[in-house]
Structure 1
Amino acid sequence: MLARIAAQHQALGYGRLSARPEKWSRWTRENAPVHPTEPTQLAIAAVVGGVTPDQVRALGWPAWIHLALRDDHTLWESPWTVAGTIEALDHTAGGHMDRRGFLTTITGGTLSAVMAHWALADPATAAATSGTRVGADVADACDTRLGALRHLDDALGAGPVYDAALAELRLLGTILRNCSYRTDTARRLFGCAAEASRIAGWCRDDSGSPIAAQAHYATALRASASGGDRTTGALITAFWANTRYAAAHDPRSALDLIDTALRTTRNAPASPRVTAMLHIRRARAHSLMGEPSPAYRAIDAALHTYESGVPTHEDLPTVYWMNTGEVLQAAGSAALSLNDPRRALSYFDTAYTHPDPYRPDIEARGAAIYAARRAEAYLALGERDAAVETTRSATTQVTGVTSDRAAQALTSLHDHLNFQGALPADTEVLVALRRAAKPTDTQDGAAPA
């Protein structure tokens, strides 16, 4: 794309234009993007087509881009019907939002509209009668493949898993569009599509592309509505809320998402772990807004909901990683955001000593992030030796896992350790930390809870 823009730039008589990849990242990053010069914008317009030079000058960057990329509205404006869901699946499975989604401003109004549609949408009620017949065995196979992707993400990080999630989305879109099936099979297939899109969204979030992540979450919500699965929709909302408060720095809209999900699932069978996750995400949002009382109430609600729930094997397989220790780690993160490091350490400690403890062996990425936060808490209390020792654990945990969020957490820790002069005596830890904390262009790399 850059090479084509550079060639067009020269063809229009504006001279040579560098096509280095970092130029594109400067234009498209969410945090303080650099606007292309007017000649460069005119070259871009000539490449993408559909926009006149007068429109470029009148509307300015990036508003004029929306005229050229009208198909991005497929995701946000398609009707909330089975056909609309399949169209959205095709759109996001094609990777359109990864290429263009940085231009879309996802406002609170957009989120409210999506959530309102989700809460009111009717599930698929009619069977598909044309095409190759598929049944429960196909849905079973899709469920198995998605389960494998979840665990691959735990082991490898999001980078290697994203393309596989897109492949699952394309496959499911093809089945839903071209095959015949009964209504019960349709709902299961839409549920699989919702989970595939959620995994893709999570991968984009963890790889530093939060706007693309939100496009996948919106598609996942559509698919969950078509499948009549409010609980899966609530799970998707919990992940989307994390993106809103961590990457978009908008905890208020995160709370709106969570409140809608809790209201919508209040009278429907729901997973206790999903409900606990919504409560702990609410705690994180309140903590980032500097509101301790509602944050700690939400922590209590999360623990109570989880502890009064059903055994793990009776809950959704998608939340296999959620336990008391995970809730306590997130509670520690909330306390740290509220400038209460002593309480944060108490939560972090209890996460490991509780009878239902946090399991660092399940997901190294999360363990590294929580270890980094634990080290930050020690630093805030002036306990530098403990902070350095905990930093060793953080750098060890993340080895071999690709995660923008983990890298951001370690970058923040590195900066705090340097600021307090806590590292000069331990070059080994400093080198390991610098190696693990790779700079990125994202706004924030906060952990999911």
Structure 2
Amino acid sequence: MTGHEPPTALPRTLLERPDVRSALAAHDFGTVFHVARAEAGVSYSAIAAECGIKPERVGTLAKGHGKVTSFEKIVRIADALRIPGRMVGLAPRPWETPADSPAAPRREFLKTSAAASLAVGLPELSRTPGGGRVGSDLPEKLRQRTARLRRLDDVLGGGDTYRTYLGEYQATRAMLRQRTYAQETGRALLSVLAEQAQQAGWAAFDGGRHAEARGLYEASRTAAVDAGDAELAGNALAFLAYQQLPSDRQSAVQIAARSCATAGPDAAPGVRALLYERLAWAHAVAGQAEETERALEAARDALAEVDGAPQPDWAAWVDETELQIMSGRCWTELRRPLRAVPVLENALARYDDSHARDKALYLSWLADAYLTAGEVEQAATVTGRVLDLSSGVASVRPRERLAPVLRRLGEHQGVSAVAAVLEQARA
């Protein structure tokens, strides 16, 4: 470890203890605080000062009451206690050495490769603030640039992409305020702004910045409505519904239904397929099997209409494989493993490992379905694949998604395959 060493930094030997590793993996920071004081002599007041938490809150957490859930606070605790990012589901922290972060070479390779591929053909734009009239061709150039930058999300998590996407959104928003343009060009710029806000909001959500994500989704919806872009307005609602799950399931279902109605029947087939599959997911999480089936059928019907016709880039990733995966996820949530397992196995066999975050997430539902079916050893094997794929990915979602699967596997610790994967998770 390099640079300033905070007074709350925990010894490596303590961090590597099985009980501490298990607590860190579960984001049980109360246990970590208790151990830090009892065995490393780090006072609660010092922890509070370094982590930006009230002293009484630290004590309450140490007694087993409450939980730390915000991305920003988890990052602050990791830095204050010098907890390597991999131990709490974060990207490697700036102070880590290569020895602290065994996944760093892989992540750096992916980032470098992605940057190199994006450098070819990425439109360079003049963003000089102040006066000057925006040409009518600029919105399309911006849209092409946004589409190219979206490819980063194929290989990197929101922890790596958020600042890039947010910068694009902020630059376009400043241009709308500071430059002059024709009315039609202004509407087109607002449409691009809505698309960029959704992209930044998704990265924020993926990186655990939920408040920022909601604000960006709301801003996107406002911009889309002002631009008269019903498709993007509908997609903004779909994002809001997705974020609402599972805390308020009925509200999420209502918002997802509104997203389909907002885009309307004249929306591009790919857009309708995307919105209906997200509606299906909301119904599934709410436990509504018949409604889930109807929404999946509507998504399949819409996808059948695509037939090679151009679709908006932000919806073009929805294809038959993605729809099969969503179907499998829905049936897993509805505890229908006989329907979920075959479709997930078939679709994920064609899903490349280079999409590490997404494949890890999707495999977690396959592991869940195997558990529901009583196939414990197979669930453990798939869980091991999830852990391998998600290692070093700057996204909080794979680890969050896997947590309940690991808890269920914990009921079968006597099975050797389960014991091995639980040890892998702790490591």
Same fold (TM over 0.5): yes
Equivalence for 1:192: 192
What is the Cα deviation at residue 427 of structure 1?
6.0
Confirm or deny that 1:317 pairs with 2:347.
no
For 2:189 and 2:403, locate their aligned partners in 1 and report how far apart those are by CA, in whole Å: 40
Cα deviation for residue 333 of structure 1 reads 1.4
CA distance in 2, matches of 1:177, 1:429: 53
Aligned to 1:314, what secondary structure does the other structure show? coil
Correspondent of 1:271 among 268, 272, 279: 268
The residue type equivalent to 2:264 in the other structure is R
Corresponding residue number in structure 2 for 1:207: 207
2: CA distance between counterparts of 1:321 and 1:24?
Answer: 45
Cα distance in 2 for partners of 1:192, 1:290 equals 36
**TM-score, normalised relative to structure 1:** 0.64
Moved over 6 A (4+): 24-27
User: Which residue of the partner structure matches residue 326 of structure 1?
Assistant: 322
Instruction: Say whether 1:397 aligns with 2:392.
Output: no
The whole-number CA distance in structure 1 between the counterparts of 2:67 and 2:224 is 34
In 2, distance between residues paired with 1:340 and 1:140?
45
After superposition, the Cα gap between the structure-2 partners of 1:404 and 1:17, relative to the gap in structure 1 and judged at 3 Å, is closer
Please say if 1:255 is aligned against 2:247.
Answer: no
Say yes or no: does 1:143 pair with 2:143: yes
Aligned partner of 1:282 among 276, 279, 283: 279
> Is the alpha carbon distance of 1:337 and 1:426 closer, same or farther for their aligned partners in structure 2, counting shifts above 3 Å?
closer
Q: Matched residues in 1 for 2:254 and 2:344: separation?
A: 28
- Partner-residue secondary structure (3-state), 2:267: coil
Q: Distance in 1 between matches of 2:54 and 2:142?
A: 36
Q: 2:425 and 2:383 mapped to 1: Cα distance? A: 8
Cα distance change, pair 362–305 in 1 and its aligned pair in 2 (3 A): farther
Evaluate the alpha carbon distance shift between residue 280 and residue 16 of structure 1 in structure 2; reply closer, same or farther with a 3 A threshold: closer
SS at match of 1:387: helix
Correspondence for 2:16:
none
Cα distance in structure 2, aligned partners of 1:423 and 1:230: 52
The residue number in structure 1 matching 2:240 is 240
Task: Report the 3-state secondary structure (helix = DSSP H, G, I; strand = E; otherwise coil) of the residue aligned with 1:339.
Answer: coil
Unpaired stretches in structure 1, ≥5 consecutive residues: 1-14, 35-129, 436-449
2:345 corresponds in structure 1 to 349
User: Offset of 1:191 from its aligned partner?
Assistant: 1.4
Give the match's secondary structure for 1:20.
helix
Is the Cα contact below 8 Å between 1:321 and 1:362 reproduced in 2? no
Q: CA deviation at 1:429?
A: 3.5
Q: Deviations over 1:221-247 (max 9, x none)?
A: 11111221111122222222111114x
Q: Residue 414 of structure 1 aligns to which amino acid in structure 2?
A: L
Provide Cα deviations, 1:149-178, integer angstroms capped at 9, x if missing partner.
Answer: 321122110011111122112211111011
> Helix, strand or coil: the match of 1:23?
coil
> Counterparts in 2 of 1:292-441, with a 5 A limit?
292-311=289-308, 314-352=310-348, 359-361=351-353, 363-421=355-413, 424-425=416-417, 429-435=421-427
Structure 1 residues 308 and 361 mapped into 2: Cα distance closer, same or farther (>3 Å)?
Answer: farther
- Provide the rounded CA distance (Å) in 1 between the counterparts of 2:399 and 2:153: 16
Contact 1:277 / 1:302 at 8 angstroms: preserved in 2?
yes
CA distance in structure 1 between the aligned counterparts of 2:354 and 2:182, rounded to whole angstroms = 37
Summarize the alignment of residues 93-112 of structure 1 with structure 2, pairs less than 5 Å apart: none
1:127-142 maps to which residues of 2 (within 5 A)? 131-142=131-142
Task: Verify the 8 A CA contact 1:242 1:281 in the aligned structure 2.
Answer: yes
Deviation at 1:211, TM superposition (A): 2.9
Is the 1:217–1:236 Cα contact (8 Å) retained in structure 2? yes
Query: 1:21/1:383 Cα in 2 relative to 1: closer, same or farther (>3 Å)?
Result: same
Instruction: From the superposition, tell whether residues 350 and 299 of structure 1 become closer, same or farther in structure 2 (CA, over 3 Å).
Output: farther
Counterpart CA distance in 2 for 1:341 and 1:407 is 22
The residue type paired with residue 382 of structure 2 is T
- TM superposition score normalised by structure 2: 0.67
Q: Residues 410 and 433 of structure 1 are in contact (CA less than 8 Å); yes or no, is this contact kept in structure 2? A: no
Q: Match for 1:255: what amino acid?
A: V
1:315 Cα deviation after fit:
0.7
In the alignment, which residue of structure 2 is the partner of 1:159? 159
Question: Counterpart of 2:20?
Answer: none
2:256 counterpart letter in structure 1: I
Alpha carbon RMSD of aligned pairs, Å?
A: 2.9
Distance 1:370 1:422, change over 3 A: farther
Distance 1:24 1:272 in 2: 51
What is the rounded CA distance, in whole Å, between the counterparts of 1:280 and 1:412 in structure 2? Answer: 24
Paired residue for 1:71? none
In 2 relative to 1, CA 362–190 (structure 1 residues): closer, same or farther, beyond 3 Å?
A: farther
**What one-letter code is carried by the residue in structure 2 that aligns with 1:287?**
A
Distance of aligned partners of 1:399 and 1:288 in 2 relative to their CA distance in 1, 3 Å threshold? same
The question of whether the paired residues in 2 share the 8 Å contact of 1:149 and 1:161 is answered with no
Cα 1:168–1:342, aligned 2, differ >3 Å: closer, same or farther? same
CA deviation after TM superposition for structure 1 residue 271, in Å:
2.1
Q: What amino acid sits opposite 2:48 in the alignment?
A: S
Aligned to 2:53: 23
